[in-house]
Amino acid sequence: MSKTKQFDLASLLSEPLLLNTKNYINGKWQKAVSQQTYEVINPASGASIAGVANSDAIDAANAARSAKKAFASWQLTTHRERANLLEKWHQLIIEHTDDLACIMTSEQGKPLAEAKAEVGYGASYVKWFAQLAMQLRGDILPNSVPGRLQTVEKRPVGVVAVITPWNFPFAMLARKIAPALAAGCTVVVKPAEDTPLTALAMAKLAEMAGFPDGVINVVAASREQTAIAVDAWLKDVHVKKLSFTGSTQVGRYLAERAASSLKKLSLELGGNAPFIVFEDSDIDAAITGLMAAKLRNGGQTCVCPNRIYVANAIYDEFASRLVDKVAALKVADPFDDDTQIGPMINQKAIDKISGHVKDAEAQGGIILCGNIEPREGLFFEPVVIAEAHNKMALFSEETFGPVLPLFRFSSEEEAIEEANNTEYGLAAYFYTQDHRRIHRVKAQLQAGVIGVNEGAVASEVAPFGGVKASGYGREGSHYGLDDFLQITYVCEGNLY
Ligand code: NAP
């Protein structure tokens, strides 16, 4: 039997305490009760990084019990106390950026520079919600009856279950956990199978920051055990809210399962973003925006443009200038300094990407650069496809990889109709220099996030979330705090 290759992550870290493989429950690092582990794999080499706790329903239930117990006192902490702890967590995250980025790149495969940028981006949410914790307040309502005081209190919803995908292992957690804690909730977290080490490192930093036991709990699980573990939370009436980021298919399933205990839900689901380039665009700016929006994280981003609509009048010029940029990208080991695209996350992702490209080619698409097959292992060179049309699989399905299909359009109406011709509604982008067109087009696009002459739209101050099958709820901004609060109306009568 061949020995599995090992990836020595510990030797890359300046703070070895950040490498954890056990669950974090009630302030203790614990093996799964079953003693089972599963292997976390480095996607660039296929080597094993670590054996991590493979939790089941018992571990998940233990985590929920711990979060419920901690909630009793955490909800009563002062806003200043929560803000201070979040500030301290933020400071530790920033201090350990390089280690966190190393852990993330090892298990997720994004280029190291992107991983560092993700730590900074995720940390900005922690800082933001630390500040918002100090601004939580209710209302005094207009007085309608003499001797009556009517007030509104905003209270934490309770224990929150947090489930996140592998593509942004740090930021997705930061923008859920930070508002939950700022609101006074406690959390039970289940990171993606592929990327538990980043989540466990975040928990370690939270422990170092001094959060009380049970306020943050993290359980890891393999794909086979995930549904079993999470089901313990879905059935638990003490888990009051589910905050999920992932595919629409799993989001629908979770919403159905959570219905019996009437949980509050935030669902950040799949996307199929259009990117429209009108004939009056600044083409250089549009290409820069497209490269930023599409190729970050190798195209494995929910807001990635999946369908690029280019006006007939500039189609050929746009395609040729785009190909010059895309063909020059370096696809290589994510720890190499100048790598721009690392490996895809796993074989299933490669099969989907390759399947979409082959299907497009079979249906008349012209491959302008890149290849229909992966280069080696999980590496896939970016592909630009001309003459894309809406019978291709990549029109209706999220490719989640470095594939840039160029669709033609001949009128504004056609571009808008085709852009909206999808069940999804997460992000949409368009480029034009005509200010009347800006107002017309943005008013008609069906998306929760719209980029106008801008490809990098996410920010901690802005509400992020979708419409249609891309889900509901918002993350970031002050709206992102509301999702973790409930409103209590208090009516005091006969005061005078
Ligand atoms: P996924 O398969 O839906 O998984 C997301 C999370 O759900 C993972 O932690 C996964 O655990 C867990 N999960 C899967 N099946 C489950 C079940 N039956 N019960 C409970 N939990 C379950 O999505 P993915 O492939 O990891 O991520 C890619 C998708 O996420 C894309 O569709 C992308 O657009 C979307 N996404 C959306 C946003 C947004 O903000 N809207 C952001 C990023 C990504 P395992 O890993 O163990 O399977």
Residue 28 backbone phi and psi in degrees, to 5 = -120, 145
Distances (CA, A) of 256 to 57, 234, 235, 249, 360: 19, 10, 11, 11, 34
169 C-alpha to ligand 1 centroid (Å): 11
Architecture of the domain spanning 273-459: 3-Layer(aba) Sandwich (3.40)
The rounded distance, in Å, linking the Cα atoms of 410 and 310 is 9
CA–centroid distance, 293 to ligand 1, in Å, is 20
All CATH 3.40.605.10 domain ranges of the chain, comma separated, are 10-269+471-488
CA-to-CA distance for 206 and 178, rounded, in angstroms? 11
Active site residue: 193, 268, 398, 475, which one? 268
Q: Which residues lie across from 265 on neighbouring strands?
A: 242
CATH of domain 10-269+471-488: 3.40.605.10
- Alpha carbon nearest to ligand 1 atom 16, residue: 227
Report helix angle 315-327 to 283-295, nearest 10: 50
Domain with CATH 3.40.309.10 in the chain: 273-459
- Out of 36, 55, 107, 163, give the residue to mutate to test ligand 1, the one with the largest number of ligand atoms within 8 Å of its CB: 163
Ligand 1 centroid to Cα of residue 170, in Å, is 14
Residues 6+ apart with CB under 8 A from 480: 129, 175, 179, 463, 464, 474
Tell me if 458 sits within 8 A of 118, measured CB to CB.
no
Edge-to-edge strand list for the sheet holding 403-409: 366-369, 383-388, 403-409, 305-311, 273-277, 427-431, 449-452
Nearest Cα residue to atom 26 of ligand 1: 165
Identify the CA nearest to 325 among candidates 389, 434, 404: 404
Mutate-to-test residue for ligand 1 from 302, 306, 352, 472, highest number of ligand atoms within 8 A of CB: 302
For ligand 1, residues with CB inside 6 Å are: 163-167, 190, 192-193, 221, 223, 226-227, 230, 245-247, 250, 253-254, 268-271, 302, 398, 426, 466, 470
Q: Are 52 and 40 in contact (CB under 8 A)?
A: yes
Q: Whose CA is nearest to atom 10 of ligand 1?
A: 192
- Residue with token string 């785009």: 322
* Residue from 250, 267, 426, 477 to probe ligand 1 pocket by mutation (most atoms less than 8 Å from CB): 250
Q: What is the mean pLDDT of each run of 10 residues along the chain (496 residues)?
A: 78 97 98 98 97 98 98 98 98 98 98 98 98 97 94 98 98 98 98 98 98 98 98 97 98 96 97 98 98 97 97 98 98 96 97 97 98 89 98 98 98 98 98 98 98 97 98 97 97 95
Which pLDDT score is estimated for 1? 39
pLDDT at 217: 99
Give the span between the Cα atoms of 300 and 307, in whole angstroms: 14
Distance between CA atoms of residues 413 and 419, nearest Å: 10
Q: What separation in angstroms does the CA of 277 have from each of 195, 293, 301, 360, 442? A: 35, 14, 20, 21, 13
Instruction: Measure 174 CA to ligand 1 centroid, in angstroms.
Output: 16
The dihedrals phi and psi of 233, each to the nearest 5 degrees, come to -80, -35
Each residue's pLDDT tens digit, 465-493: 999 999 999 999 999 999 999 999 999 99
Compute, in angstroms, the gap from residue 244 CA to the centroid of ligand 1: 8
Please answer whether residues 404 and 382 qualify as being in contact, where contact means their C-beta atoms are separated by less than 8 angstroms: yes
The type of residue at 428 is: A
Q: Reply yes or no on whether 268 is catalytic.
A: yes
pLDDT at 488: 97
Q: For 97, left (φ over 0), alpha (ψ -120 to 50), or beta?
A: alpha
The pLDDT score that the predictor gives to residue 429 is 98
Of all protein residues, whose CA lies closest to atom 46 belonging to ligand 1? 192
Q: How far away, in angstroms, is 171 Cα from ligand 1 center? A: 14
Residue type for 183, please?
A
**Site to substitute for ligand 1 among 245, 272, 353, 474, most atoms within 8 A of C-beta:** 245
Measured distance CA(231)–CA(1) in Å, rounded: 36
Q: Which amino acid is at 476?
A: G
Of ligand 1's listed atoms, the one at least distance from the Cα of 190 is 9
pLDDT score at 372: 87
Alpha-carbon distances, residue 367 vs 103, 307, 316, 353, 377 (angstroms): 35, 15, 14, 14, 21
pLDDT of res. 3: 52
